[in-house]
C-alpha cells in the first residue's frame, strides 16, 4: 500500500484553517447581563456586583405553569448539585401576588431562593412572557445562554455546560 503526503503548503493551510475555526467558535462574543436587583422571599439581596465570580441561573416561572411545576425538581437538584461550584439559582415568579406564591410553595416546596416580580426588575429585562424561561449568566457577568420553554433536565445541563458546569455529579467532580 502506497501512502501519499500532502505538500507542506497544503498542510500548513489546513492547520491554519483548523486553528482559526477553533478560535472563532470557542468563545463567541457574549453580551453583558443587564444591571439588576433582586430580593428573595427570605430577604437575601442579589445584584450584578454580588454575583461576580458566580454562575447564575435565572428561572422565570408561574404557579399556574404545569411545565414549570414539572421542571422544578430538576432545577432544585441542579442548584443543590452545583452550589459548591459557584452556582446560584434564582426562581423569579412572574406576575403573581405574594399570597398566591406563598400558598403554592406550601404545597410545592422549592429548594432554591424565590424572587417575586415586585422585588426585582428581572422579568421586564428578559421579556418573561412564556414559561419557563431560563437565563444563564457566567462568572464574568455575561449572558451565556437562554432557553425559552421546558426541555427537561438534559437541556438544563447542556445550558450549564456553557459556563463549565453541567453533566452529572460524577462528571463534575473531575472539573
In this structure, is residue 7 part of a structural domain?
A: no
Which residue, 67, 123, 64, 130, is CA-closest to 90? 123
In this structure, is residue 4 part of a structural domain?
A: no
Q: How far is CA 45 from CA 2, 6, 51, 114, 120, in A?
A: 69, 61, 10, 11, 10
In this structure, is residue 11 part of a structural domain?
A: no
CATH of the domain at 156: 3.40.30.10
Q: What is the pLDDT along the chain (175 residues), one digit of tens a residue?
A: 454 554 544 333 343 333 333 332 233 567 899 999 999 999 999 999 999 999 999 999 999 999 999 999 999 999 999 999 999 999 999 999 999 999 999 999 999 999 998 888 887 788 777 899 999 999 999 999 999 999 999 999 999 999 988 765 444 333 3
In this structure, is residue 128 part of a structural domain?
A: yes
Instruction: Write out the three cell numbers for 172.
Output: 463534575
Domain range spanning residue 67?
A: 32-172
Interior CA angle at 163 toward 157 and 169, to 5°? 45
In this structure, is residue 6 part of a structural domain?
A: no
Number of domains making up the chain: 1
29: left (phi over 0), alpha (psi -120 to 50) or beta: beta
In this structure, is residue 96 part of a structural domain?
A: yes
Residues in Cβ contact with 157 at an 8 Å cutoff, skipping those fewer than 6 apart: 78, 166, 167, 168
Amino acid at each position: 500500500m502506497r501512502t501519499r503526503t500532502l505538500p507542506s503548503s497544503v498542510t500548513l493551510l489546513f492547520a491554519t484553517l483548523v486553528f482559526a475555526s477553533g478560535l472563532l467558535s470557542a468563545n463567541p462574543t457574549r453580551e453583558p447581563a443587564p444591571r439588576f436587583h433582586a430580593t428573595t422571599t427570605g430577604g437575601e439581596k442579589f445584584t450584578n456586583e454580588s454575583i461576580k465570580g458566580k454562575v447564575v441561573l435565572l428561572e422565570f416561572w408561574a404557579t399556574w405553569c404545569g411545565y414549570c411545576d414539572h421542571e422544578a425538581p430538576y432545577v432544585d437538584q441542579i442548584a443543590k448539585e452545583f452550589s459548591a461550584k459557584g452556582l446560584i439559582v434564582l426562581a423569579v415568579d412572574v406576575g403573581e401576588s405574594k399570597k398566591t406564591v406563598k400558598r403554592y410553595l406550601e404545597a410545592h416546596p422549592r429548594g432554591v431562593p424565590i424572587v417575586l416580580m415586585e422585588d426585582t426588575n428581572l422579568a421586564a429585562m428578559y421579556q418573561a412572557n412564556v414559561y419557563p424561561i431560563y437565563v444563564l449568566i457566567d462568572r464574568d457577568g455575561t449572558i451565556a445562554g437562554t432557553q425559552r420553554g421546558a426541555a427537561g433536565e438534559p437541556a438544563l445541563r447542556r445550558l450549564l455546560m456553557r459556563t463549565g458546569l453541567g453533566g452529572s455529579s460524577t462528571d463534575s467532580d473531575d472539573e
